[in-house]
Amino acid sequence: MATSNGNTPTSAGQIPVIDISGSIPQAEVAKQLVDAAATYGFVYVKNQGKDIPVEVIDGIFQLSKNFFSSPLEEKEPCKIQTNNRGWVGMHAETLDTKNQRVSEFANGKAQQPLPPAFTPHEEQLDRFHKYCHSLMEKLLILFAIGLEVDPAQGGSDWFASRHRGDDDSSCTLRLLHYPPIPSGTDYKPEVDIRAGAHSDYGSITLLFQRPGQPGLEIIPPSTTVQHGQRDYSNKASWTPVPVFPPGTETDPSPPILVNIGDLLSYWTNNLLKSTVHRVVFPNSGKEGGEDRYSIAYFGHPMGATVLVPVPSEMVRALDGVNAGASTGVEAMTADEHLMSRLKATYGGLYDDKKDVKAAES
């Protein structure tokens, strides 16, 4: 695979684009999703506006731009708290970016303080949150079908059912803004990275991107691991992930990029890959790049879910692999796993807060 910070499509190893609109038999779509997740950890979902209307996505991007252009004093009262909700400024987490997390809604009302830029738009945010959750469940059902989960133990609903409940929501809607390099700044590729190498915490992530705003790169799971460790430096096999992959250029909106998180990889004994990724300045940072806006919906199971392998013969067929063996994660609840990751990302914010019930990824 080609390696570049320019985020141009590569000729080999292209992440598949899959149509889940119903035009292809469900069993075939499910197999395609599993194959893509097992090979790349990422898959594009063709976006024709059938699962989430294009105008709804565009509206949330406009809200995001309005928020990030608002004065700092309007954002400060809504800084991130130990429930993993709120605004995060630059350098406040190990994945440097600016972001706002809008996490839970009840009867159309956000269960967290909202800045003035969002206050009149709670219903709009709530509707988008529901669209995302519905698409997440649809994908989780397809993954279960593709993995041929034992019908006696939940079948196609095995994953999706663990993302529903009366408890606090375990999923997070995150609006992201990556500012350009300030004018006159000396660009240093080893330092100036918009979001450092990481994998996602939960089950699956839905990523919405804007045309002409590239920057996402992955290290393909197929790259060689030496001495039990993978190289995440700029010399590694970083592969650009285009916003519009070949064949989607005339679609009404960029395809939705779906990636596997640590928990879904854990459940499937690493059959489905949680792929390390990052966000860089495209074009080698020349002329400071430009603003990049994206929206991520992080799917995460209910907090009390016990992380055990999915009851699938495809998973059991992985000889010599036990639950957690490939990820280094011991058997625990989804909340416990999430808290361990949040402590690693935010440091002191979560120290000695073992009684706090984390709700998002």
pTM of the model: 0.81
Instruction: For residue 306, give the DSSP letter.
Output: B
Helix (H/G/I), strand (E/B), else coil: 126: helix
Section 15-31 average pLDDT: 95
316-to-36, 81, 86, 148, 310 alpha-carbon distances in Å: 19, 40, 40, 11, 9
Q: Above pLDDT 90, what percent of the chain?
A: 40
Cα angle for residues 236, 238, 243 (degrees, 5° grid): 175
* Bridge partners for 296 per DSSP: 174, 207
Section 128-153 average pLDDT: 96
Question: What does the pLDDT read at residue 208?
Answer: 97
Integer Cα distance of 258 and 266 in angstroms? 17
Identify whether the C-beta of residue 140 lies closer than 8 Å to the C-beta of residue 163: yes
Question: What does the pLDDT read at residue 112?
Answer: 63
361-to-30, 194, 219, 348 alpha-carbon distances in Å: 25, 19, 22, 17
- Give exposure, 185-199, as e/b (b: 16+ Cβ within 10 Å): eeeeeeeebbbbbbb
* Helix ranges (DSSP H) in 116-275: 122-146, 262-267
Q: Residue 279's closest CA among 360, 185, 209?
A: 209
For 307-360, write each residue's pLDDT tens digit.
887 899 999 887 555 444 444 445 678 888 778 777 766 655 555 443 333 323
Integer Cα distance of 46 and 51 in angstroms? 10
Q: Given a cut of 80, is residue 84 above it in pLDDT?
A: no
Q: How confident is the model at residue 86 (pLDDT cuts 50, 70, 90)?
A: very low
Q: Which of 1-15, 278-292, 326-340 has the highest mean pLDDT?
A: 278-292
Instruction: For residue 286, give the DSSP letter.
Output: G
For 24-76, write each residue's pLDDT tens digit.
999 999 999 999 999 999 999 998 889 999 999 999 999 999 888 877 665 56
Q: How confident is the model at residue 115 (pLDDT cuts 50, 70, 90)?
A: confident
